[in-house]
Amino acid sequence: MEEWCESMPKVELHAHLNGSIRVSTLLKLAKALNETQKDAINFSQMEHVIMKNALSLTEVFHMFDLIHNVITDHNIVTRITKEVIEDFASDNVVYLELRTTPKRNDSIGMSKRSYIDAVIEGLKSVSSVDVDFIPKTEDSKSFINDKFNGNSRKRIIVRLILSIDRRETTEAAMETVKLALEMRHFGVVGIDLSGNPKTGEWTTYLPALKFAREQGLNVTLHCGEIRNPKEIKNMLDFHPQRIGHACFFEDEHWRRMKSSKIPVEICLTSNIRTFSVASIDVHHFGDLYKANYPLVLCTDDTCVFSTSLSKEYKYAADSFGLGKWEMFEVSRNAVEHIFADNGVKNDLRKYFHSVSKNMEV
Ligand code: 6MZ
């Protein structure tokens, strides 16, 4: 099963760039920073957090602050992006929607725009695998299927989602949406709302999210990562294209979800390690899978939760007694929920079809 989950093509729709930084890179950057600026980072604290196998949500968000501290220039953003793409491609992810929060940091001359430019530089600088990130009408149709027709180099389609952090103001959220609109030709396909769920108010982000929708951007929301029935209801009323987590849903929320069929991005390891779900046997993946509800298995933060997409598939298979072809179908069905255009979707459908005819159990 482990080999099967590794080798089959996969689709990742919920991965945060800085939460997916390579551990070795994070430690190197933290160590270097620690040597030059003693107070900039608490290296031993960071090492300790990385090695822990259960983290409260508070610790997780502290970890993100530590990670963000190592981003001291644009080249680091570019390097992290490049490595994250390489890592997903080597795990046989063929389509990746990578999300990241555009960051402004005046002390290092970084604007939200220059941060995203650095991410795009990272996409361009990958050389060990072929990366398709610029939406095209003609060429993208054959990009992934060429791989199947005898080209042995790995290929990955990447699209970007820009995140609004729950600590941000309405104006800052609006700036992110405007940036996403400007960057559509570089493969930005949507907006995400994320960040510490204990922070901020839904009404703060709503104007920006409404504007994103009016302008034709897709929206995905972190929803129900903590118990907050009122916010969950407001989020469901907004009817986003996808929802991340959905851990603290009550019956009434599930009833609404089942009539609206909003796909759920499921992050098993993240939910268990942050205690958002008490144990894997009661994780909502089980019921949703049985009910044939639209869902996608995702990693959330490969670095912070020491995981990979193949590990998430193996975890699901082992925990819910699913076989190889069932896991393949979970992966294939994820294609239906991507934010990229229909050209890419059809291309991926064809690709999964040809793979299914050639894979042996
Ligand atoms: C909510 C999360 C998250 O944007 O700097 N992030 N937000 N819940 C989660 N589950 C544990 N995991 C990651 O990546 C890191 C940022 O993504 C969000 C947080 O805002 C975090 O600071 P970027 O690339």
Give domain status of residue 360, yes or no. no
Give domain status of residue 75, yes or no. yes
Report d(CA 173, CA 213) in Å as an integer.
Answer: 13
Report residue 285's pLDDT band, with 50, 70 and 90 as the boundaries: very high
Q: Read off the DSSP letter of residue 134.
A: S
How close is the Cα of 58 to the center of ligand 1, in Å? Answer: 12
Indicate the number of domains in the chain: 1
Give 146-158 pLDDT, tens digit per residue.
655 566 788 999 9
Q: Ligand 1 within 6 A of 224 CB?
A: no
Give domain status of residue 359, yes or no. no
Q: Which atom of ligand 1 is nearest to the CA of 166?
A: 20
So what's the pLDDT on residue 32?
Answer: 87
Task: Count other Cβ atoms within 10 Å, centred on residue 279.
Answer: 9
Report residue 143's pLDDT band, with 50, 70 and 90 as the boundaries: confident
Report CA torsion sign: 335, 341, 344, 347: positive
So what's the pLDDT on residue 288?
Answer: 97
**In whole angstroms, how far apart are CA 323 and each of 138, 287, 329, 334?**
37, 17, 10, 17
Question: What number is the average pLDDT over the span 3-13?
Answer: 96
| Helix, strand, coil percentages in the chain from 3-state DSSP, rounded to 5 | 55, 15, 30
Give 299-317 pLDDT, tens digit per residue.
999 999 999 999 999 999 9
What is this structure's pTM?
A: 0.95
Protein residue closest via CA to atom 9 of ligand 1:
195
So what's the pLDDT on residue 59?
Answer: 87
Residues 6+ apart with CB under 8 A from 205: 164, 166, 168, 170, 173, 193
How close is the Cα of 194 to the center of ligand 1, in Å? Answer: 6
Q: Ligand 1 within 6 A of 272 CB?
A: no
Question: What number is the average pLDDT over the span 261-278?
Answer: 96
Task: Count other Cβ atoms within 10 Å, centred on residue 105.
Answer: 15
Q: State the Rg of the chain over Cα.
A: 19
Q: Ligand 1 within 6 A of 263 CB?
A: no
Please report, for the domain that includes residue 50, its CATH number.
3.20.20.140
Report residue 135's pLDDT band, with 50, 70 and 90 as the boundaries: confident
Q: Which residue would you say has higher pLDDT here, 166 or 38?
A: 166
Active site residues: 225
Protein residue closest via CA to atom 5 of ligand 1:
18
How close is the Cα of 163 to the center of ligand 1, in Å? Answer: 8
So what's the pLDDT on residue 146?
Answer: 65
**In whole angstroms, how far apart are CA 176 and each of 90, 120, 171, 282?**
30, 16, 9, 36
How close is the Cα of 19 to the center of ligand 1, in Å? Answer: 6
Per cent of the chain over pLDDT 70 is 93
Report d(CA 252, CA 321) in Å as an integer.
Answer: 28
The amino acid at 105: N
Task: Count other Cβ atoms within 10 Å, centred on residue 241.
Answer: 16
Give domain status of residue 361, yes or no. no
Residues 6+ apart with CB under 8 A from 236: 223, 253, 256, 257, 260, 262
So what's the pLDDT on residue 46?
Answer: 73
Question: What number is the average pLDDT over the span 37-58?
Answer: 74
> Domain range holding 263?
2-354
So what's the pLDDT on residue 55?
Answer: 80
The backbone torsions φ and ψ at residue 19, rounded to the nearest 5 degrees and listed phi first, read -80, -10
